Amino acid sequence: MSARPSIAGRRRRFGWPRRVFSQVLLMQLAIAAGVTVLATGLFLAPFSSELDDQAMRRALAIAETTASSRVAGELLASRPTADGPLQTEAERIRKATGAEYVVIMDRRGVRWSHTDIGQIGKVVSTDPSEALAGEHVMGIDNGTLGRSARGKVPLRDETGRIVGAVSVGIAYDSVRDRLLAAIPGLLAYAGGALAAGALAAYLISRRLQRQTHDLAFSDISALLAEREAMLHSLREGVVALDGAGRIRLMNDEAQRLLGLGPDATGRPLDEMLDGGRTTDVLTGRVRGEDLLAVQGPRVLVANRMPTDDGGAVVTLRDRTELERLGRELDATRGLIDALRAQDHEHANRMHTLLGLLELEMHEEAAEFVTEVVGVHRATAEQITERIHDPLPAALLVGKATVAAERGVSLRLSPGSLLPDRLVDPQGLVTVVGNLVDNALDAAAGSGDPRIEVELRAEGRTVVVRISDSGPGVPVDQRELVFSEGWSTKKPPVHGKRGLGLALVRRLAERQGGSARVGRSADGGAEFTVVLPEALAEAAGPVPDRTAAAGPGTAEGAR
């Protein structure tokens, strides 16, 4: 049982290492060694040929020098002897140049000189016909003295006639000795290059070790697979940016929240989102925690964490539903306050009615009840006569009640007329609800608090105009009020303010419309929202109910 772990340990020890550092180091060392051996071989092959060529050229040069001396005259004036002048001259030249032999021959190929005096007077062992024909010959030959580098030239007399030839040989052993003598130096250079390569490989491997945290390739591959699975399974959007602001990666939820496709990866964020607060938040131009941004119809909460390479990782949470619930909570609280106030007012009215009955003022009591009931009924009837779609009509009836309890007069403009052909009633409710809420808050503190609401159709376009008697919006802040997070009000307990008007503008711009603010006739703010293509095609002519509707005011009691 104890032998098995040791065998496995030896296998791990002598097998291919798992760590990136070890694998990269071994691979780079193998590459450096292979390149060094290959470079050495590629250098030695032409070097050997170059040495052979140098030896042949040297032999040819010695032969030419010998043929240019007085050898030709001696050849014609004497006979081949061991102690003749040609032998003496050839040996002098051989010793002076270090050649292996210097052979002078006549036209018959008979040697007149040779290193071995026994060969003098005999025919040469190699064919001299090319040299006797006037050509200069170089080559590597095997002769009586073994393998040598040879050079042969013709021997001419004073008239230029060929009378013989000169053959000079350089011992091949000397060429090989030069080659062998060069190998140690070459190996030293190769060893130095290999050592430098090994050092570079070690430094690169150490850097990789730090960057990969000494993980194995299999671990890195598993981490990448797990990261992809984790990113795309998260219900929060994750966007990674590089130092240049380009999108490095983006999970499925981020693509959904930002309205981007998979092709956005690798492209600048400014180019994909066309600027705005969302881009400023994601790129870090706006800093903070839990920053709010509006992208299309969605309210997003963004947090940004910078990375060491100058980029950042941004997480996005969808707060649209939470924001809607928060606004519903605000509306519910306002309704509760209104009901509480109505209960108090109802009790006062009941006491008044009881007093009139106890005083037996029956006619006055009947008139009092008729007046109280008629005000609220008239408000609802006037709104529904002009606003035919039930959702915005119900919204305005409720807002009129809340306004009345807050002492604000909510009036429907005489020019209002909205048919029941809305493409997106919920979107219009969001626009009108936000604008009326803001108008109520602004008008509540004025001397003569009132609000005028106008909803009218121009073809298929819906125009929303809401004015109040509040303090108005300064000229330098008329664009700022539509920014996410900007508000003059105290934040509610359930979240942040500054999203209502931003949502209004986004909803308008999404339909190709606009939202702007100006100055009303009462000196307050007047918001105008244009929603193109907000109405479906009419089945027939739309009757003009403006005249039949009367002046149409929804006045809240103060």
Q: Find the length of the chain.
A: 558
pLDDT of residue 522: 82
- Please answer whether residues 113 and 87 qualify as being in contact, where contact means their C-beta atoms are separated by less than 8 angstroms: yes
| 17-214 shares its CATH topology with 234-318 | yes
- Please answer whether residues 503 and 409 qualify as being in contact, where contact means their C-beta atoms are separated by less than 8 angstroms: no
pLDDT of residue 526: 92
Domain spanning 234-318 has what CATH number?
A: 3.30.450.20
H or E element at residue 163? strand 162-171
CATH architecture assigned to 382-549: 2-Layer Sandwich (3.30)
What is the b/e burial string over 361-396, where b = at least 16 CB atoms within 10 angstroms of the residue's CB?
A: eeeebeeeeeebeeebeebbebbebbbbbeebbebb
Domain spanning 17-214 has what CATH number?
A: 3.30.450.20
Residue 298 φ then ψ, to 5°: -105, 145
Helix (H, G, I), strand (E, B) or coil at 159: coil
- Please answer whether residues 494 and 326 qualify as being in contact, where contact means their C-beta atoms are separated by less than 8 angstroms: yes
* Number of CB atoms found within 10 A of residue 322's CB: 14
Helix (H, G, I), strand (E, B) or coil at 405: helix
Q: Provide the pairing of β-strand 450-458 with 137-143.
A: unpaired
Task: List the Cα angle 266/267/272 in 5-degree steps.
Answer: 140
| CB-based contacts of 66-73 (< 8 A; 24+ apart in sequence) | 66/90, 66/93, 66/102, 66/104, 66/166, 66/168, 67/153, 67/154, 67/155, 67/156, 67/166, 71/104, 71/155, 71/166, 72/155, 72/156, 72/157, 72/158, 72/163, 72/164, 73/157, 73/158
Task: Tell me which residue of 475, 499, 497 sits closest to 488, measured CA to CA.
Answer: 497
- Please answer whether residues 369 and 349 qualify as being in contact, where contact means their C-beta atoms are separated by less than 8 angstroms: no
What is the b/e burial string over 263-298, where b = at least 16 CB atoms within 10 angstroms of the residue's CB?
A: ebbeebbeebbeeebbbbbbbeebeeeebbbbbeeb
- Give me the tens of pLDDT residue by residue for the chain, a chain 558 residues long: 444 444 444 444 445 565 666 667 677 777 777 777 776 666 666 666 777 788 888 888 888 888 876 666 666 667 778 788 888 888 888 888 888 888 888 888 888 888 888 888 888 888 888 888 889 988 877 665 566 788 899 988 888 888 889 999 887 665 555 556 666 766 677 677 777 777 777 777 677 766 666 666 666 667 777 767 677 667 788 888 888 888 888 888 888 888 888 888 888 888 788 767 778 888 888 787 777 777 776 777 788 888 888 888 888 887 766 666 655 665 566 557 656 656 666 677 677 777 778 777 877 777 767 666 655 555 677 888 888 888 888 888 878 877 877 788 888 888 899 998 888 888 888 888 889 888 888 888 777 888 999 999 998 899 999 999 888 888 888 888 887 655 555 544 444 445 678 878 878 877 778 899 998 888 888 999 999 888 887 765 444 444 333 333 334 333
pTM exceeding the 0.85 threshold for the entire prediction: no
Task: Tell me which residue has tokens 């219009």.
Answer: 428
pLDDT of residue 179: 58
pLDDT of residue 72: 63
Query: Domain extents for the chain?
Result: 17-214, 234-318, 382-549
Cα 441 to the center of its chain, rounded Å: 46
pLDDT of residue 182: 63
Beta bridge partners of 465: 454, 528
